[in-house]
Amino acid sequence: MQKREWIYEAAVRGIRPILGVAASLSPKVAQGIRGRRDAVAGLEAWAMESRDGSRPLVWVHAPSVGEGLMAQAIIGALRERRPEVQVAFTYFSPSAERIAPRVGADVAGYLPWDVRAEVARALDALRPAVLAFVRTEIWPVLGSEASRRGVRQVLVNAVLGPGSSRLRTGSRFLLGPAYRRLDAVGAVAQTDAARFPLLGVPPERVRVTGDARFDQVWGRVARLREAGAVERLPLLRRLKDDSATTVVAGSTWPADEARLVPAFARARAVGPLRLIVAPHEPTETHLAGLERALGAAGMTHARLAAVEASAGPIPEAVIVDRVGILADLYAIADVAYVGGGFGRNGLHSVVEPAALGVPVLFGPRHGNAREADALAWAGGGTVVRSAEELEEKLVLLVREPERRQEAGRAAVDFVRAGLGGAAANAALIAEFLEEAAAPASAL
């Protein structure tokens, strides 16, 4: 462990008491602290009961929900290639807690604090052959202790944009040794692959493996279609209305809604429209503010819970007041608006509505989501820079259903062209299972 990593570990130890104070102000921080409190014990308990030393184990780590879903696709592909493998899955953000049981791992839980005493216990219990970080996060102390035990380390489905904070001097100083320890990086695109040597990864260890997000979304959409989700799910049957053009606005923030509400209100003049809007954070404050904006625009509206509880007519706007159902709602959309492109939070994923054949509109700040630009170039998405431009695009898609259908087909073709990343990233992990210096039982 290098001197700079001692500095990093000291910083982690120092921030823990501060986070304890912050937990009283943030339920999400408090949830994360509670989860990490028993993280190591949970992994040890599973290992004592279920770890099979004759089978190799891969420890897969993903930061949050989006990366966890990518991990789900990669784990599925890995099990197809190496069915005997055991998998441990960890995550950092509390938001990933709800999806952890379905990623396909043998054991799942919070990542322990990145300090030697805790990660050493976890490594000694799990005895992984490969440690696979997904997308962005690598953890220096975990990597150092894994290296001491001969565990191979890879970063899969990796991205590194030109404006990434990891390229800044301070980050490169602290994280440089951790990047140099990586045995391989599987990047989603050549532009990302070309930047990893700037962090110290030897160029010969970097390759392009594609983006597993496309496979994960495609698989989910296929299951929806096979199951006849619109007919099968009461929620979708209730909301589907063939007499109106349905716009599903997903993962919105107040900056999105400030454009979306007036644009939608004016676009109603060209024909019957329904808006289903799912805020990224459906807090009471956010929901109440959205209700006021819709009311001021002269639109009838209700929260989803009230709509589900009633058999009466559905209002012009339905406000989704819970999380976890947005992907299903895109299945009844004629047009999708994806939020995050008018604020500083970053554009959310355009892939899910695109995979369902829905043309996608989004705001101009989408540098964090390279697939948005690519979708626009393919003809399946459109950038809107103001409420007026959003209104114009909505009117066009309502008036010209043929144009809407053409854009939907282009969106599906775009997603289909991106498939294969899950298998390629799984193959990269499998290489190091085969090349591991010793079987898991001997580590």
C-alpha 429, offset from chain centre: 20
- Dist. CA 95–CA 76, nearest whole Å: 21
Instruction: Give the per-residue pLDDT at 26.
Output: 76
- 3-state DSSP call for residue 51? coil
Q: State residue 137's pLDDT score.
A: 87
- Would you state the pLDDT for residue 24? 67
Tokens encoding 80: 């197809």
DSSP 3-state assignment of 403?
A: helix
* Whole-number Å distance between alpha carbons of 360 and 80: 33
Q: Specify the pLDDT at position 442.
A: 43
Q: What is the mean pLDDT of each run of 10 residues along the chain (443 residues)?
A: 73 73 71 86 97 97 93 97 97 91 96 94 98 94 95 97 88 90 96 95 97 94 75 85 94 96 94 94 95 97 95 94 91 96 89 96 85 94 96 94 96 96 98 68 44
- Give SS3 for 228: coil
pLDDT at 437: 40
In sequence order, the 6+-apart residues with CB closer than 8 A to the CB of 7 are 174
Answer yes or no: are the C-beta atoms of 126 and 109 closer than 8 Å. Answer: no
| Residues 71 and 62: beta-carbon distance below 8 Å | yes
Count of H helices and E strands in the chain?
20, 14
Contact between 56 and 87 under an 8 Å Cβ cutoff? The reply is: no
Q: Which pair of structure tokens corresponds to residue 266?
A: 């004016």
Query: φ and ψ at 436, to 5 degrees?
Result: -50, 140
Query: Global pTM?
Result: 0.87
Radius of gyration of the chain (CA): 23
